[in-house]
Amino acid sequence: MTEVVETDICVIGAGSAGLSVAAGAVQMGARVVLIERGPMGGDCLNFGCVPSKSLIAAAQAAHTFRSAGRFGIAAAEPQVDPLALRAHVRGVIAAIAPNDSVERFEGLGVRVVRAEAHFAGPREVVAGGLSIRARRFVVATGSRPAAPPIPGLAEVPYLTNESVFELAVRPEHLIVLGGGPIGCELAQAHRRLGARVTVLEAARILGKDDPEVTAVAKARLAAEGVVLREGVAVAAVAHEGGRFRLRLGEGADAELLEGSHLLVAAGRRPNLEGLNLAAAGIACSRQGIEVDAGLRSSNRRVFAIGDVAGGPQFTHVAGYHAGIVIRRALFRLPARVDYRALPWVTYTDPEVAHVGMTEAQARDRLGDGVQALAWPFSENDRAQAEHETEGLIKVVLDRRARVVGASIVGARAGELLAPWVRGVGQHLPIGRIAGAIFPYPTLSEVSKRVAGSYYSPKLFSRRTKTVVRWLLKLG
């Protein structure tokens, strides 16, 4: 017989978004049921952020071997053990997994159900022999890799972020379909670990970021031997004799590209299948569940958060969504999403970090008076000491000299972005950054220097010199 469970909050999906809601709600006194059909921790822990950054760290170690000569230390070609590398990635996942485990959440008081869930009505979800009736439901089922409609692709054993970290061999030639953050990060990592790598992008590589900034990152990838090809149309894919063969273009201009492995990193799609959303009156599209600014679906009892809500697909957005739902579902506060100060980072080397509007977006939306400031890493003493001089910081101001956007490419750009996230979110005038005291010598001084450059034309003008000479004459 089906057991009926009455609860306050029912969360479907134990990835970053769902776990954050469940942990927060139960510790605030709500009864919570958490349903997950796959591994606890979702994509971020098992197939995304954690394994990718672990692989990138290993690749950085290999790169350090090769580039030690710039410090007067004998360089060497690293010996990469694919099985030990895989064990390293698995070990990092295992170290973090207890934070997302069934045991931890049951210890907090959450009832965890390991089963597939579907709606049986507007106020009921069925999973694992349970009929769960809740005051509020939260759908946090995430997303998965999407495959472009290329003839032959569905019939070949291509890799995605869900399988690439399990490789037990080093690819001889890795072909990457997609030049977004995932494609570029994994391309550089595998190149540093000894593979030949070609990236194919139908549009522009790292196309969501400022072109002036991405040019620096693309130049580094190319210098390290990653072949970057933009505006490329893949006409067909085949797999024969253990080799992938991709036909690029059509007709007389067509060419054949061959590789040992194929990684598809060309977007994602929401996990909606099997939820029976129609039974609950929940509207959705190919982009995900349709929600309002408060993340509520067309069924007022159901929220959708994280990737499945069709918005920006980042783990930090999932956590942000969770906070909004907790405020609305538990405290009935009018919380709404605001992506004006949404940051993101591409973890190539150098890193690419961004928040707010790019220069082009600001000029398009705000019109006259927009100003862009830039400062190179080569003018930073710490960058010189560490031979990390490739990069720049670019800040965009509105006509009142308030920060509306910032882009950084360079060493630890993601860490350097924090003051600019605050600047965009709080409409700070550039003077608030320029007047701050930054420790020396640190890379963070690039923020002070770029902010200070706003005042340089006036501060060092002929008029200022005249005023200073006049004041000095007064004694």
- Of 53, 48, 18, the C-alpha closest to 33 is 18
Sort strands 130-139 and 302-304 into parallel, antiparallel or unpaired: parallel
Distance of alpha carbon 101 from alpha carbon 36, whole angstroms: 11
CATH number given to 343-459: 3.30.390.30
- Cβ contact 446:393 at 8 Å: yes
Burial of 122 (0-12, 13-18, 19+ CB in 10 A): middle
Distance of alpha carbon 370 from alpha carbon 153, whole angstroms: 45
Structure-token pair, residue 92? 């990092």
pLDDT of residue 1: 67
pLDDT per residue of the chain (475 residues) written in tens, 0 to 9: 689 999 999 999 999 999 999 999 999 999 999 999 999 999 999 999 999 999 999 999 999 999 999 999 999 999 999 999 999 999 999 999 999 999 999 999 999 999 999 999 999 999 999 999 999 999 999 999 999 999 999 999 999 999 999 999 999 999 999 999 999 999 999 999 999 999 999 999 999 999 999 999 999 999 999 999 999 999 999 999 999 999 999 888 899 999 999 999 999 999 999 999 999 999 999 999 999 999 999 999 999 999 999 999 999 999 999 999 999 999 999 999 999 999 999 999 999 999 999 999 999 999 999 999 999 999 999 999 999 999 999 999 999 999 999 999 999 999 999 999 999 999 999 999 999 999 999 999 999 999 999 999 888 888 888 888 888 988 7
pTM of the prediction? 0.95
Residue 347 φ then ψ, to 5°: -90, 45
- Of 368, 84, 474, 391, the C-alpha closest to 220 is 391
Which secondary structure element, helix H or strand E, spans residue 445, and what is its range?
A: helix 445-452
- Of 331, 354, 328, the C-alpha closest to 343 is 354
Q: Which fold has domain 3-40+101-145+269-331?
A: FAD/NAD(P)-binding domain (3.50.50)
Instruction: Please state whether 317 falls in left (phi above 0), alpha (psi between -120 and 50) or beta.
Output: alpha
3-40+101-145+269-331 and 153-266 share one CATH topology?
A: yes
Structure-token pair, residue 172? 């001889």
Quick: pLDDT tens for 333-391: 999 999 999 999 999 999 999 999 999 999 999 999 999 999 999 999 999 999 999 99
Strand partners, 177: 200, 264
DSSP structure string for 172-185: SEEEEE--SHHHHH
Instruction: Break the chain into its structural domains and give their ranges.
Output: 3-40+101-145+269-331, 153-266, 343-459
Q: Which fold has domain 153-266?
A: FAD/NAD(P)-binding domain (3.50.50)
